[in-house]
Amino acid sequence: MRVGRLSERTGVPIATIKYYLRTGLLHAGLPTSRTQTEYDESHVRRLTLVRALLDIGGLSIAHATEVIAAMDDESTSVNEVLSAAQRSVSGFVAAATAVDRQSAELALDELVLRQGWQVSAGNPGRAAAVDVLATFQHLDGTDYSDLVRAAAMAADVVAEADLQLVRDSDGERDQMVETVVTGTVLGDALILALRRMAQEHHARKQYPQL
């Protein structure tokens, strides 16, 4: 198909498609002449993924480009693609003191040990979690330990489901890494959305008079 048809199929403007080609978010088509290029279903699929990462996942162009580059690099393992996807959605910066951070790091280490998790020191989630825990301590002194434990248990269930999707894929690397990326980036957006809904439900149950 020509670029005009690709635009019609995906709803992405031609100018945007050309921009994605320049940045590497979209792989090149097959040149058929000096001025014509053919695109196929792989381009439709990739554009759908890119728009989902940007529009639903909220990734910046730079972060999306990093994730797509990891997906397209055959030498990059599935675990490395997972790390790239995690980095793309980890951007919390705390306004906490060094003492708060040290205490938060100890609390997080205890949580990881209690959960029985194997987590590398470079996992972006670790730094983000420390930021959040340190900020909790820095703000108002409220005991958030029950919330943290509940969040850890929920995260464990969701993470296991994430990786089950990867195991259930057809075993081809392309499908596995796409599942990893969509599950991580869009899964984050889904969890936030469902949490908002669940919060309203429990608020109505616990505080019906408000």
Assigned domain for 70 exists? no
Of the ranges 9-23, 36-50, 87-101, 114-128, which one carries the lowest mean pLDDT score?
87-101
> For position 66, what pLDDT does the model report?
92
Same domain, 29 and 100: no
DSSP per residue over 27-78, as a string? ---EE-SSS-EE--HHHHHHHHHHHIIIIIS---HHHHHHHHHHHH-TTS-H
**Mean pLDDT value of segment 20-44:** 92
Task: Supply the angle between the helices 41-51 and 173-206 in degrees, to the nearest 10.
Answer: 30
Same domain, 194 and 117: yes
Assigned domain for 76 exists? no
Assigned domain for 189 exists? yes
The total of other beta-carbon atoms located within 10 Å of residue 70's CB is 21
The total of other beta-carbon atoms located within 10 Å of residue 184's CB is 22
Same domain, 195 and 124: yes
DSSP per residue over 128-171, as a string? HHHHHHHHHHHHT----HHHHHHHHHHHHHHHHHHHHHHHTS-S
Assigned domain for 46 exists? yes
Of the ranges 14-28, 125-139, 172-186, which one carries the lowest mean pLDDT score?
125-139
Rounded Cα–Cα distance for residues 123 and 89 (Å): 12
Position 93 pLDDT exceeds 60: no
In the 8-state DSSP scheme, what is residue 123?
Answer: -
> For position 95, what pLDDT does the model report?
55
> For position 209, what pLDDT does the model report?
74
DSSP H/E element including 180: helix 173-206
Same domain, 35 and 133: no
Same domain, 52 and 92: no
Same domain, 51 and 109: no
Rounded Cα–Cα distance for residues 201 and 149 (Å): 21
Same domain, 105 and 45: no
Full residue range of the structural domain in which residue 123 is found: 88-206
Same domain, 184 and 95: yes
Predicted confidence band at 132 (pLDDT cuts at 50, 70, 90)? confident
Assigned domain for 186 exists? yes
Tens-digit pLDDT profile for residues 43-78: 999 999 999 999 988 899 999 999 999 999 989 888
Please, what is the average pLDDT of the chain?
88
Predicted confidence band at 24 (pLDDT cuts at 50, 70, 90)? very high
Same domain, 123 and 190: yes
> For position 136, what pLDDT does the model report?
81
> For position 138, what pLDDT does the model report?
72
**Mean pLDDT value of segment 127-143:** 81
Higher pLDDT: 115 or 121? It is 115
- How many domains is the chain built from? 2
| Residue 38 contacts residue 29 (beta carbons within 8 Å) | yes
Assigned domain for 177 exists? yes
Rounded Cα–Cα distance for residues 18 and 39 (Å): 12
Assigned domain for 78 exists? no
Percent of the chain with pLDDT over 90: 53
Same domain, 183 and 117: yes
Question: 């996807």: which residue's tokens?
Answer: 85
Tens-digit pLDDT profile for residues 143-195: 888 999 999 999 999 999 999 988 887 778 888 898 999 888 999 999 999 99
